[in-house]
């Protein structure tokens, strides 16, 4: 999974020990890892190295790294380090803020690391970053170990019914596309994934079977989601559409471009929320072809 995200121009080093259990869903662990690895990849446009390390650690009356005070006990530590361009202290201080990003307006929402922070703190853990310009960046996550297995099996109870339909997923952010694809496939849906409108149109044209739902970001480079949806609905009458965005549906540049009856799910979304929204969008009465 990780190798497919970073490309061949980056060396990947994995170091793991005998892991314990943390009380966090497997899908959230994937979300943490993908967000951090993609962030490291983006810091290495000309290649380099990413190191991912998982280790058991014990806290015994000492702060971890001299900076994080935590209760005594066993923990799992996840470290993702790169030897890329690094960050200024000002950027590092704000890196977990929602919507903060150093990327261009069409290159990301700035939600990835905020999502990491939310998942980790929600599980009783800590996350911090060390970075130096020209040297690289290291993210460290520490989660308390637990004898209780995560309640991953509870998530399907929130979903009305398993999927079997075909979803055309259009998402320009790699990590969101990868995660959404994995979540939907696990729920039984067939996913046709594309990174933009051109790829979506080509995928739809090459697909002989039915496409039940278009799941698309609203704001994308070149062709926005609503324009893509209108074009595909003209080619495939009855196609349902579910829009998503890191910006709220009523926000500038989002709500103004959406049909009044549009279905919408905010980013970041949980796996169960995504599957529930997709199921509901597919199950609604299809528009009548003219």
Q: Is the pTM of this model over 0.75?
A: no
- Around 88, how many Cα atoms within 13 Å sit in the side-chain half-sphere? 3
- On the question of pLDDT at 245 being above 50, the answer is yes
* CB contact at 8 A, 237 and 268: no
CATH 3.30.160.160 for domain 152-283: no
Fold classified for 2-144: Heat Shock Protein 90 (3.30.565)
Backbone angles phi and psi of 41, in degrees to 5: -60, -45
Average pLDDT over residues 194-208: 95
- On the question of pLDDT at 178 being above 60, the answer is yes
- Range(s) of the chain covered by CATH 3.40.50.2300: 152-283
pLDDT tens per residue, range 85-143: 999 999 999 988 876 776 654 445 456 788 889 889 988 899 999 999 999 999 999 99
Beta strands 213-217 and 166-170 are: parallel
HEC assignment per residue over 30-78:
HHHHHHHHHHHHHCCCCCEEEEEEEEEEEECCCCECCCECCCCEEEEEE
> Cα 200–202–203 angle (5° rounding)?
65
pLDDT tens per residue, range 64-93: 655 566 778 888 899 999 999 999 999 999
Q: What is the spatial distance between Cα 189 and Cα 118, in angstroms, rounded to a whole number? A: 28
- Reported confidence tier of residue 34, pLDDT bands at 50, 70, 90: confident
6: left (phi over 0), alpha (psi -120 to 50) or beta: alpha
- Range(s) of the chain covered by CATH 3.30.565.10: 2-144
């Amino acid at each position: 999974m990780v190798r497919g995200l970073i490309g061949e121009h980056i060396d990947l080093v994995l170091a793991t020990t005998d892991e314990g259990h943390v009380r966090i869903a497997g899908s959230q662990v994937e979300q943490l890892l993908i967000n951090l690895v993609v962030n490291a990849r983006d810091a290495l446009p000309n290649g380099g190295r990413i190191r991912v390390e998982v280790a058991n650690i014990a806290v015994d009356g000492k702060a971890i790294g001299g900076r994080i005070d935590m209760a005594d006990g066993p923990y799992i530590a996840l470290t993702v380090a790169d030897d890329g361009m690094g960050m200024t202290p000002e950027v590092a201080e704000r890196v977990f803020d929602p919507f903060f990003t150093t990327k261009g307006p069409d290159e990301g929402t700035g939600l990835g690391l905020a999502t990491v922070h939310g998942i980790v703190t929600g599980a009783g853990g800590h996350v911090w970053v060390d970075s130096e310009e020209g040297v690289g960046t290291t993210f460290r996550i520490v989660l308390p170990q637990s004898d209780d297995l995560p309640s991953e099996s509870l998530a399907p109870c929130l979903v009305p019914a398993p999927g079997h339909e075909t979803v055309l997923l259009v998402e320009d952010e790699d990590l969101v596309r990868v995660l959404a694809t994995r979540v939907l496939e696990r729920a039984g849906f067939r996913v046709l994934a594309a990174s933009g409108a051109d790829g979506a149109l080509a995928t739809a044209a090459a697909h002989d079977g039915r496409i039940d739902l278009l799941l698309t970001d609203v704001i994308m480079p070149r062709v926005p989601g609503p324009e893509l949806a209108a074009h595909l609905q003209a080619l495939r009458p009855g196609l349902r559409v579910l829009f998503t965005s890191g910006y709220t549906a009523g926000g500038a540049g989002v709500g103004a471009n959406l049909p009044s009856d549009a279905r919408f799910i905010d980013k970041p979304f949980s796996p169960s929320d995504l599957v529930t929204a997709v199921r509901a969008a597919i199950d609604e009465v299809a528009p009548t072809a003219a």
